[in-house]
Amino acid sequence: MNQYEGYYHYLPVDDMAMSWGVYLTGLGSGRAPAGETYPPKGHPGLYSFRWPRGRVLPEFQMILITKGSGVFESELTGSVPIAPGSIITLFPGVWHRYRPDFDVGWTERWISFHGTMTHRLLELGLIFPEMAVRKAKRPASLSKAFDRILKSVSDHSNQNSILLSFQAMALIGSVIESTSDVEEVPEGHHSIRSKGVRDPLVARALDLIWTHSHQAFTVQRFADQLSVSRRVLERRFRDEIGHSVLTEITACRLSRAKRLLVETDLGVKMVAFLAGFPSDERMRVTFLEKVQRSPSQYRSENLEQRKPKVGRPSRS
């Protein structure tokens, strides 16, 4: 009989929550004692797994281990030891498995989340599958941050999903702050530009583009948001960056679409929608112009990136 002691809760996600950049899908905490099989039974099929087969999630998870030890494996990391204070980040579409050492056990806290903004963390290089296991600088403080959102859901399981999104964003930020060195945090996002941005208007425009270009924004609407004329925005943007606002918008959408095509099994129409293209045909034309292949061809040619690289055992 499994003696796992803990709490977990999976949340309904409505359309309003999905429209935000981050939404919480589940969370939990528990103690996996020594001598017990892991993971414990009772989780929905999407989240449950057995060690020989591992698992692939359609969303992100962050897991804090505060006591005990174990091992983590993924396509891109191979086998990585887990010690107290380790943060494990799981990525959508990436095969993985993990468990505590049988003779030791461990204590865990975790959240599951998704949303368009979470993918920007990858674009910024703040999280990446090749470094799925990081060491928290202040695990005790991080434990309290996990406990706050756990208590909030435990006390009010039907609370507003948008308010939960705020709490999830704060916790994700705390995890990144606790696991990153200052020099690892980029000064800006990864765009098609290579130089720094000095013009504050252009910096604000870039932030709007890379945050909101998945929506049906036009250059004029960005100018309106910045309280300047389109002509002024275009001139200052080109002087600073070297290309037009529309070129940057297209580059952002193309970058997002490429990643979704490679990292997910979403249909081409859904990828176009999430990336911000007005239609899948517009995305197809853009791919042919910029990549010289259709979205489906691009996906097929990059499937190797989704296959196991290291660490995945046979299923026999």
What Å distances lie between residue 57 and 1, 18, 61, 93, 155, CA to CA? 27, 17, 9, 6, 27
From the number of C-beta atoms within 10 Å of its C-beta (0-12, 13-18, 19+), residue 206 rates as buried
What Å distances lie between residue 262 and 56, 135, 189, 259, CA to CA? 14, 28, 20, 5
Q: What is the pLDDT of residues 122-179, one digit of tens each?
A: 878 889 899 999 999 999 999 999 999 999 988 876 677 778 888 999 999 999 999 9
Residues 254 and 176 grouped into a single domain = no
Q: How confident is the model at residue 185 (pLDDT cuts 50, 70, 90)?
A: low
Total structural domains within the chain: 2
Q: Is 215 inside a domain boundary?
A: yes
Residues 31 and 151 grouped into a single domain = yes
Q: What is the pLDDT of residues 74-110, one digit of tens each?
A: 989 999 999 999 999 999 999 999 999 999 999 999 9
pLDDT at position 289, please?
93
| Mean pLDDT, range 288-307, rounded to an integer | 83
| Mean pLDDT, range 195-200, rounded to an integer | 74
Domain finish residue from 184, 217, 233: 184
Amino acid at site 310: V
Q: What is the pLDDT of residues 108-117, one digit of tens each?
A: 999 999 988 8
Kindly report the average pLDDT of the chain as a whole number.
85
Q: Is 292 inside a domain boundary?
A: yes
CATH number of residue 268's parent domain = 1.10.10.60
Q: Is 310 inside a domain boundary?
A: no
pLDDT at position 316, please?
37
Alpha carbons 108 and 69: distance in angstroms, whole number = 10
Residues 28 and 148 grouped into a single domain = yes
Residues 217 and 169 grouped into a single domain = no
Residues 65 and 212 grouped into a single domain = no
Question: Is 60 exceeded by the pLDDT of residue 307?
Answer: no
Residues 208 and 171 grouped into a single domain = no
Residues 29 and 148 grouped into a single domain = yes
| C-beta separation of 206 from 124 below 8 A | no
**CB within 8 Å of 307: residues ≥ 6 apart:** 75
Alpha carbons 221 and 214: distance in angstroms, whole number = 14
**DSSP for residue 132:** -
Domain finish residue from 153, 184, 215: 184
Q: Is 309 inside a domain boundary?
A: no
Q: Could you tell me which of 36, 94, 26, 38 has the C-alpha nearest to residue 62?
A: 26
Residues 159 and 31 grouped into a single domain = yes
Higher pLDDT: 243 or 208? It is 243
Higher pLDDT: 37 or 1? It is 37
Residues 49 and 114 grouped into a single domain = yes
Instruction: Determine the structural domain holding residue 17 and report its residue range.
Output: 5-184
Q: How confident is the model at residue 45 (pLDDT cuts 50, 70, 90)?
A: confident
Q: How confident is the model at residue 308 (pLDDT cuts 50, 70, 90)?
A: very low
Alpha carbons 186 and 261: distance in angstroms, whole number = 25
pLDDT at position 1, please?
45
pLDDT at position 193, please?
45
pLDDT at position 40, please?
84
CATH number of residue 166's parent domain = 2.60.120.10
Residues 216 and 69 grouped into a single domain = no
Question: What is the pTM for the complete model shown?
Answer: 0.60
Q: Is 311 inside a domain boundary?
A: no
Amino acid at site 252: C
Q: What is the pLDDT of residues 134-147, one digit of tens each?
A: 999 999 999 999 99
**CB within 8 Å of 13: residues ≥ 6 apart:** 23, 25, 161
Alpha carbons 150 and 156: distance in angstroms, whole number = 10
Residues 96 and 177 grouped into a single domain = yes
Residues 218 and 163 grouped into a single domain = no
Q: Alpha carbon 304 to chain centroid distance?
A: 21
| Mean pLDDT, range 26-48, rounded to an integer | 87
Q: Is 316 inside a domain boundary?
A: no
Q: Is 315 inside a domain boundary?
A: no
Domain finish residue from 132, 149, 184: 184
| C-beta separation of 24 from 11 below 8 A | yes
Alpha carbons 179 and 184: distance in angstroms, whole number = 10
Higher pLDDT: 262 or 20? It is 262
Q: Is 262 inside a domain boundary?
A: yes
Element counts in the chain: helices (H) and strands (E): 11, 9
Token code pair at residue 286:
């853009």
pLDDT at position 44, please?
74
